[in-house]
Structure 1
């Protein structure tokens, strides 16, 4: 359902894929409910998660607690969103599937509204001058280089850059305000990554800078790799980096 709905309401803004932890045949009642709303179900079929195991995604959205546990830490994933719904197929309510469909529609419309704003207004308004000004600081530049292919907690950046937490947090806030970073709060801790909707040319600048100037942030990378008890998504940050 979610794949068909995001394709329909997203109007081509997103590439959409779906998979299940225990894929089964698509329930005919789902196809009927989609058809009643005028939403195409062409090409819909159940797929296993391992079909996409080697792919990276800007967003990973789980629709039940079991899926959240099994793919909440999807390698290479961007923003992970947990939308927990009860399985309508196991409900005795004859309207369970239509009700679930409407609930997912509401979530998807909000998702599109938020991320369409980021796509449509944030990055076109960020000029090359503003982008390069954001990079014109050693802490901010090294932060972006370290984050180019991973998500890091504030305490990891403190360790890697050997700077006090207030200074790191101040620069992270500036990068977030500019639109280059996206933060994710997990309990009392905050993780950062490059914004998945960042313009391609900006990503290319960061990637090329990293590839051709590895000595510039080699020490920071080494400290990060040597850091003991590094926090991970879904785990507590032992050094308290909120």
Structure 2
């Protein structure tokens, strides 16, 4: 029971810290507010995380691990380009709905490498998929794998910026999913081989319907 309580307290502290980091950044977050949000004492906080840096590292690591796991889970049998599309939807949805991921992204932006660490958590998988897509003839003659990676990164960064603009009342309230659908509707004919375009769905929530995904094709799994 004592161990279960300790695990539960640690989880509450990480979640509470993530909410503070996502709103206020690392420098703007006080440990007192974290304790209040977690309904925990300062003693409990320092028992689990003796320093603020250790708490920051725990939130960042959990957010990055969650992002990598979700990106890997989005890779399924079928065209590699479809999995690229699905991963961008996954990344955008995580930023929208998962406070720990949102906090990790902000903490990465504040770090020495800027936002690269969070993007690297899923873009490495996209890079492998894009290279597999090129070898499998899924890209048209004008498109290189690095361009697919850049496109995916730009789309998610654009959705992230749009969401931030909405939060301060300066942007459209159109959902991230719908914005990504529209972006991919434009991009698919520009990057995919002509014979594959009809098999790709710009919307990850419906890609299994109506033959939108091909059957398992023997591609090497992405890990």
TM interval, shorter chain, is 0.3 to 0.5
TM-score normalised per structure 2: 0.34
TM-score normalised per structure 1: 0.32
Q: Identify the structure with the greater helix proportion.
A: 2
Q: Identify the structure with the greater strand proportion.
A: 1
